Amino acid sequence: MHAVVCIKQVPDTTEVRIDPKTGTLDRRGVPNIVNPEDLHALEAALEFRDRFGGRVTVLTMGPNFAASALRECLALGADEGVLLTDRRFAAADTFATTYALWSAIQKIEKERGPVDVVLTGRYALDGDTGQVGPGLARRLRVPLLSYVTAIEEVDFEAKRIVVQRHIEGAVVTLESRLPAVLTCSADLNQVRYASLPALLAAQQAQVTAWSVDDVGADPEQCGLKGSPTIVSKSFVPEPRTDTCRLFEGEPAEAAASLVDFLIAEHRIPGFEPVGAKEA
């Protein structure tokens, strides 16, 4: 069994604040974390290895310091961390991101043997498109199993997997051929903890770093150059300019005049102003 887990290092958006003066995101002092759902993808891969043996490779595209995210995964038990890093990969949209990840997976397959399953998180906290897993599946020409909340059966010999997917209003049980790409939701499993010795050891661990040339990627298809979308503007939503109409007075009085206003202005569906006639 060989699983490749794609992880992304993200700023912890719960810590990002908007600078009231400049209206831009203030990321100072914001910690970088492994995208939370990616840890569930890693956990699924580690559970596969616990049962079937084999190997778990974690892969990320990002700046040099994303190596620390890979080390966190090594501390949890991954066998190898691969960092795709090169200035030419920078500012990739999801199309160029999946191209880079695909290129790296080609090389991993060539050098480390066939990959049976690729796992990603459902969404990343920052970009939050949820497009990388599906796009990667298509690049790899393997089936996509997204929004996975349970793995019912898996047989790497017979190349078959049965998963549950949670979609709007239903749980779908889907059978698929392997290899496949799974995008994992936090409901899939409980993430294990790294032991302190493992954490310490992982701080020294080597990660494999590859450039555009190392993975044999076409620089024209990488990063900003390879991205069909561009962020043409980014801004903090403007506060509304029209002000909220406040109703004042004693609670009973304020409430009554508010309700009168809502009815008079037809703001409550099904309620007509007193005296109004049906058309």
Ligand X SMILES: Cc1cc2nc3c(=O)[nH]c(=O)nc-3n(C[C@H](O)[C@H](O)[C@H](O)COP(=O)(O)OP(=O)(O)OC[C@H]3O[C@@H](n4cnc5c(N)ncnc54)[C@H](O)[C@@H]3O)c2cc1C
Instruction: Please count the residues of this chain forming the interface with ligand X, following the rule CB under 6 A.
Output: 34
Query: Which three-class secondary structure state does DSSP give residue 56?
Result: strand
**Minimum distance of ligand X from residue 133's CB (angstroms):** 5
List the one residue out of 231, 222, 217 whose CA is nearest residue 88: 222
Rank residues 56 and 61 by Cβ distance to another protein and give the closer one.
61
Rank residues 53 and 239 by Cβ distance to another protein and give the closer one.
239
Location of structure tokens 């009973």: 252
List the one residue out of 49, 25, 15, 6 whose CA is nearest residue 234: 25
Tell me: does residue 167 bind another protein (CB under 8 A): yes
Listed ranges 53-61, 80-88, 195-203, 217-225: which one lies at the site for another protein (CB under 8 A): 217-225
Half-sphere exposure of 38 (CA within 13 A, CB side): 27
Tell me: does residue 181 bind ligand X (CB under 6 A): no
Strand partners, 184: 121, 148
Half-sphere exposure of 240 (CA within 13 A, CB side): 4
**Minimum distance of another protein from residue 145's CB (angstroms):** 8
Binding string, 30-69, against another protein, x = CB under 8 A?
----------------------------------------
CB contact set of 198 (below 8 Å; sequence gap of 6+): 75, 76, 77
Binding string, 125-164, against ligand X, x = CB under 6 A?
-xxxxxxxx-------------------------------
Cα separation, 222 vs 234, in Å, equals: 22
Q: Is the peptide bond before 179 cis (omega within 30 degrees of 0)?
A: yes
Residue 275, contacted partner among ligand X, another protein, none, CB below 5-8 A by kind: another protein
Backbone angles phi, psi at 72, to 5 degrees: -60, -40
DSSP codes of every residue in 87-100: GGGTT--HHHHHHH
**Minimum distance of ligand X from residue 180's CB (angstroms):** 15
- Interacting positions 15-44 with ligand X (CB under 6 A): 35, 37-38, 41
Instruction: Please count the residues of this chain forming the interface with another protein, following the rule CB under 8 A.
Output: 90
Tell me: does residue 162 bind another protein (CB under 8 A): yes
Rank residues 48 and 99 by Cβ distance to another protein and give the closer one.
99
Tell me: does residue 134 bind another protein (CB under 8 A): yes
Rank residues 259 and 263 by Cβ distance to ligand X and give the closer one.
259
CB contact set of 237 (below 8 Å; sequence gap of 6+): none
Is the CB of residue 53 less than 8 Å from the CB of residue 23? no
Listed ranges 64-72, 77-85, 195-203, 270-278: which one lies at the site for another protein (CB under 8 A): 270-278
> Residue 200 belongs to what H/E stretch?
helix 196-204
Tell me: does residue 29 bind another protein (CB under 8 A): no
> Residue 155 belongs to what H/E stretch?
strand 144-155
Rank residues 62 and 135 by Cβ distance to another protein and give the closer one.
135
Q: Which residues bind ligand X (CB under 6 A)?
A: 6-8, 13-14, 35, 37-38, 41, 59-62, 92-95, 97, 101, 120-121, 123-124, 126-133, 229, 231, 234
